[in-house]
Structure 1
Amino acid sequence: MPAKPSFDSLPLRKDGPHGNAWGLFGDKDECGMLNLLTPEKTAKAAAEIRDGVRVSTDWPLNRMSRPCFGRAPFEHNIKNKAPRAVNDDTLTFNTQSSSQWDGFRHYAYQKEKLWFNGKTLDDILSTTVNGTQAWVERGGIVGRGVLLDYAAWADAKNIEIKAFETNSITVSTLKEVASSQGTTFEEGDILFIRTGWTRAYDKLSDDECKTLADYKTPPAIGIESSEETLRWLWDQSFAAVAGDHPSMEAWPCQNQDFWLHEWLLAGWGMPIGELFDLEQLSQECQKRSRWSFFFSSMPLKVPGGVASPPNGVAIF
């Protein structure tokens, strides 16, 4: 494992875009910060399993009848193979229409049009490089998960959560949430942030869901797009970050110099999870007064996959 450089030493490839960590794990690397999930880290994370309670972190694939960002809705067709009493089914869906990991083929540096480790659009369209299959072949996203329950913290302080407005959660607030939980971090942790977005969505009427979907860029709560946020994420050495909201960062992005999608996906190779269902996870954490757990996610093994449902489970 190479020594991790400081945030101030970025970009590593000096002729590349701002903030890149290209080459940190080799020029042919396709897993980025998931390389921090070593067998030793995963074995240590198994100590988080104490009572065996298991919690899914996936929203139903059909939860959004009108997904955000103009994405196609989920379709499920069952075919009966009469005269036999046998059924097959067919699924048609956008991999980012419900709970999802954004992969390294999803979002490029927008000005340079370069994906993780300097890959071009031609590389993306003509090979399987940076596809989600690389994560699966390495063993998936498996290690110690940590929840920062911003929504529970805000509720306790009677802070109104405006889930469908562009509200940025700062690093200082995340640190305060962690302190209130007694939560500390370790290298290779998989970070989850619960903002309360899916909870708020579940309370919307059908008409309100349609109105939200009609936004070209739907406003949403998220973490702040700032140098402070990026520095904190880098210094904590997270393997991946995920939340219950549509875009991880507050949307629309408020500071495009520090666009988290550019820096994390194209720059560092840090998977971004969105629209995770963290409601039951929050309840189980609060029951135990413990916000760490064993986490396992095995994305779809699609050669050249851009994104994937997480198939995630937290185990206490």
Structure 2
Amino acid sequence: MSEKLAAAHASPHPSSHALPRPKANGLRKCIKRDKYLYLMLIPIVAYYLIFKYAPMLGEVIAFKNYRFADGILGSEWVGLKHFRKLLSSPDFFNILRNTLLLNVYSVVFGFPVPILLALLLNEVRNEGFKRIIQNLLYVPHFISWVVLGGIINTLLSPSTGVVNFVLHHGFGMEPIYFLANPFWWPVMFVLSGIWHSAGWNTILYMAAITGIDPQLYEAARMDGAGRLSQIWHITLPGIRSTIAVLLILRMGYMMDIGFEQIFVLQNTAVLEVADVISTYVYRMGLQHVQYSYTTALGLFQSVIGLILVISMNRIVKLLGERGLW
């Protein structure tokens, strides 16, 4: 008996050597079983590696005095020179303020609109009418900002625009230069952004609403709850996690207002409120050939965006919702 116990203590536990193997074997089995799915994943991975991660190597020119003749590797190292120049530039704080303000306006006034549209569409019982409304809401998303900008300029023209025609003949008001007025330009920017993207964003919320258990609505109706009460106590809590995730993602773009919409609607009369990081990078980088300086600005923009995403994800998790990770 004592010999058997000694042999048992002397020999290593069989499971201690077998622990890593099931993981490796399981991974190989998984790849072999789903090999065609992994093959379909290769183009997506290649896209992100080539067009998203590989260009990040070029961020090194933010720390160099980049010249075409010398190339990225041959250009002179200057350390944080471009970042110091950026932070000491009076233009930097103006474009930073404009970028943040326009994004805040878009979040405050634009972010709730797709939620409201999804809630309203969910209450429409006529499926044919519902599909027509959805298609009409989706159409602007597929129109280029160049075309939409022309439509907006035509509608808001002080001499021939429909909006000013109605204001003048219907209310006796003088024509308003909406796109040349520093007060009205941000309003038009936010409204045009809502027109362009609100309908498309309702798709995500509509999909989340369809995942709510219909029995919850039946139980609420049996208890005498009206439609508004059902929306408040069932629908909104049911899509709360989706709202939280999309809000986190939206925070990542607080430093990136985009380029096309701003560039199409922008003019010299409203540069004090319409000049943002993207248009400044275009002007200084491509027109004035200051590649290192604008790369430093882009790197600063990305770092701040990452910090905002991490912070918002943390706040959402503290509020009891599931974050991105």
Q: Larger C-alpha radius of gyration, 1 or 2?
A: 2
Q: TM-score, normalised by structure 2?
A: 0.24
Q: TM-score, normalised by structure 1?
A: 0.25
Which structure dedicates a bigger proportion of its chain to helix? 2
The higher-RCO structure (CA 8 Å, 6+ apart) is: 1
